[in-house]
Amino acid sequence: MPQVPTLAETIRLDARTKLLNSKEHEGMLNSGYEGVLEIEKKLANSVGWSATSGQVDNWVYEEANSESQHSFKMRDAQHNRLMNTNLNSFSKLVKIFWEAN
């Protein structure tokens, strides 16, 4: 009999494969404005799931924050790329991190 994953399992899988996947981010950045918007939406959706279901583990935000800090501090080129590609979504990403914190 097939098993349906729980919401928490689905959120963890989605976080690992999309939200925290640096290859996924690179692909999104390569698609330009819409790609940065998609990154912003994925983080916003995680916060939404967290607020409505409580099923998002803290490590998801810790890893997302760590990935972003690494990208923003160590790889200025990516930071500038996010800002130059879609400043509005970049600003929202920063706000979402503050909200999640």
The secondary structure of residue 31, as a DSSP letter, is T
Whether 70 has a pLDDT exceeding 80, the answer reads no
Average pLDDT, stretch 59-86? 72
Angle at 71 between CA 36 and CA 42, to 5 degrees: 35
Average pLDDT, stretch 32-43? 87
Which residue in 25, 27, 17, 28 sits closest to 71, CA to CA? 25
Please, which residues have CB within 8 angstroms of residue 58's CB and are 6 or more apart in sequence? none
In this prediction, residue 95 carries a pLDDT of 86
Which residue in 38, 37, 64 sits closest to 50, CA to CA? 64
Domain locations in the chain as residue ranges? 7-100
Which residue in 75, 65, 67 sits closest to 99, CA to CA? 65
